[in-house]
Amino acid sequence: MTANGSGGEVGREAPAPSQALAFSRYAEALDLSHAADIARTRALADLGHAALHDARRDGVRGMASDMELRSVAAEAAGMARLTDRRLQGEIDHAMTVIDDYPAVFEAWVARRIERGHVDVVVRVGAGVPAEVRDSFAEAAVGVCERDVPSRVRGALEALAAKLHPQVFTERHKTAAAERCVRVFHGTDGMSNLVANLPTVIAAGMLDRLTQMGQSVKDARVTTGPEGGVDAAAVAGAGGAGGAGLAADPDTRTMDQLRADILGDLVLGGAPVVDPTYGTDRAGGLGAIRARVQVAVTAETLMGRDENPAEAVGAGLVDADTVRQLAGQVSEWDRLFIDPVTRTPVEIDKYRPTASMKKLLMARDQHCRFPGCRRAAIRCELDHTIDHALGGHTHIFNLAHLCQRHHSMKQFTKWEVRQVGGGVLEWTSPLGRVYREDVPIPAVCFTIDTADPPPDAAPGGPPPDEPPPF
């Protein structure tokens, strides 16, 4: 409160709540959140149990049971405005918690442990055999009660290893058979490449990358304009983000060097022993090249703007990179669509033509089930009205569906129809309707009819303009 010279009030601030009141409100919020998490877990498990019950009631097993789960997950995803894959994962997790770890769930209900504890127990317990799962769960509750979720994983892994009836060496052999590499696309044209490898291999890779990076750093000091050695050549001049000419200083950090060297080794090297050749040199496997589908406008390609291009199914790519890629390709795919009439293309045969596939891939970009973003290049072209039932092989009776949603359309009560212009309308088994509009492209092709270039050919780009790919 402030006062003027005569003692009158000028203004008053709202009184701040006491710490006791603030903590009381926070405790109430925690109680509500806890009750909601418990209720959601039970409801998700009930959805999964209901789907399996309906499948068993109809006398189906195997794939048909999975189709019923997919259908239920898709229905619930529409209610929650989430993807059906995520919902099915949450249903599976809820059923695992309630069915396989009842002691852990009851401890969670009683607030002895928190949701984060439950998630860690389930992840670590995935490798515990069923015959010792109950013993693991009971001991895990005691571990979780003593610490926060972020610090119990190591103790739980040690507990799981102690209770496991199989020796670690045999378990490692099984785990090594599941080694893999995955990519997780991020923002600003960057992605994370993650490899699941035997620990000794992963540690050895990091060590070698560090040694090679250190060699590059040492070359910076011992070479220069008078040293006669190009430091960029040591790192691999083709590396992403590598140093340019020898005269340019190499200012990369060790993390940047490791990333660049890894890219050089993977993209420019061959397997240590190529089984198609039998020697330590590039053979059949060494000749394999990555395939990336990129959509870019002619304006960006010619340097008239710096708009990003689109790597289909991945994300955006900066203009400089896509222009470098464009300078290395030997083949171009060009696609023309009438922007006014959107003239339909049709064929009397079952399989669409190559030009129709290109058209549909450009239109759909990804799986056309609501919420799914599986890239079109990894999807199947589906006849909305089955060809065997009279459906035409026409661009407005075709759409890309991933294998998961293609199968769900065939084997569950989900229905779809095309309402024109490539727009799909899905109806769930419970009657909810979801509209899947044509995706908005990341890049657009336009013709400036008001001021065409002087050398433009009628109805097309200038003769010397590189086509989009």
- Higher-pLDDT residue of 280, 179: 179
Portion of the chain with pLDDT greater than 90, in percent: 33
Claim to verify: residue 27 and residue 169 sit in the same structural domain: yes
**Domain presence at residue 12:** no
Distance CA 365, CA 294 (A): 11
Q: Let me know if residue 322 belongs to a domain.
A: yes
229, 203: one domain: yes
Q: Do 238 and 93 lie in a common domain? A: no
Residues 126 and 239 occupy one common structural domain: no
pLDDT at 104: 97
Same domain, 74 and 173: yes
Cα distances (angstroms) measured from residue 342 to each of 113, 337, 339, 443, 450: 59, 7, 6, 18, 22
Give the model's confidence band at 356: pLDDT under 50 very low, under 70 low, under 90 confident, else very high: confident
Tell whether 322 and 397 lie within a shared domain.
Answer: no
Average pLDDT value for residue range 339-355:
58
> Is residue 393 one of the residues assigned to a domain?
yes
| Percent of all residues in the chain with a pLDDT value above 70, rounded to a whole number | 72
Would 143 be classed as within a structural domain? yes
Same domain, 53 and 76: yes
**Would 277 be classed as within a structural domain?**
no
pLDDT of 211: 86
Q: Is the pLDDT of residue 287 over 60?
A: no
Highest mean pLDDT: which of 56-65, 127-136, 335-344, 458-467?
A: 127-136
Q: Say what the pLDDT of residue 340 is.
A: 42
Residue 342 has pLDDT above 90, yes or no: no
- Does residue 215 or residue 289 have the better pLDDT? 215
pLDDT band per the 50, 70, 90 thresholds, residue 272: low
**112 and 239, same structural domain?**
no
pLDDT score of 116: 95
β-bridge pairing 398-401 and 393-394? unpaired
Q: Is the pLDDT of residue 439 over 80?
A: no
Q: Does residue 68 carry a pLDDT above 70? A: yes
Least confident of 295-299, 318-322, 385-389: 295-299
189-231 confidence digits (pLDDT tens)? 899 999 998 887 888 888 888 888 888 887 776 655 444 444 4
The pLDDT of residue 74: 94
252 and 399 in a single domain? The answer is no
Q: How confident is the model at residue 61 (pLDDT cuts 50, 70, 90)?
A: low
Domain that holds residue 298: 294-326
Are 411 and 428 in a shared domain? yes
In the predicted model, is pLDDT for residue 270 greater than 80?
no
Q: 439 to each of 49, 147, 178, 283, how far by Cα in Å?
A: 35, 47, 36, 41
Please check whether residues 43 and 132 belong to one and the same domain: yes
Residue 150 and residue 111 share a domain:
yes
| 262 domain-assigned | yes
* The pLDDT of residue 316 is above 80: no
Which tokens sit at 401? 């569906």
Residue type, 197: L
Among 8-12, 177-181, 255-259, 415-419, which is the least confidently predicted range? 8-12
Distance CA 74, CA 146 (A): 39
Query: Would you say 367 and 401 are in contact if contact means Cβ atoms under 8 Å apart?
Result: yes
Query: Would residue 157 count as lying in a domain?
Result: yes
The predicted structure's pLDDT at residue 131: 93
In this predicted model, which residue has the larger pLDDT, 219 or 74? 74
Least confident of 55-69, 214-228, 429-443: 214-228
CA distances from 145 to 142, 149, 152, 276, 384 (A): 5, 9, 9, 55, 54
| Interatomic CA distance for residues 241 and 261, integer angstroms | 10
Give the residue with greater pLDDT, 111 vs 341.
111
Decide which of 180 and 335 is more confident.
180
Enumerate long-range contacts of 344-347, CB under 8 Å, 24 or more apart: 344/394, 344/395, 344/396, 345/394, 345/395, 346/392, 346/393, 346/394, 346/395, 347/393
Total count of domains within the chain: 4
Mean pLDDT of the chain: 78
Which helix (H) or strand (E) element contains residue 175? helix 168-176
Could you tell me if residue 7 is inside a domain? no
Lowest mean pLDDT among 16-20, 75-79, 144-148: 16-20
Which band of pLDDT confidence, cut at 50, 70 and 90, is reported for residue 288?
Answer: low
Q: Tell me the two tokens of residue 116.
A: 């984060």
In this structure, what token pair is assigned to residue 219? 């070359």
Predicted structure pTM score = 0.60
CA distance linking residue 126 with residue 353, whole number of Å: 46
**How confident is residue 265, by pLDDT bands cut at 50, 70 and 90?**
confident
Q: What is the mean pLDDT of residues 457-468?
A: 38
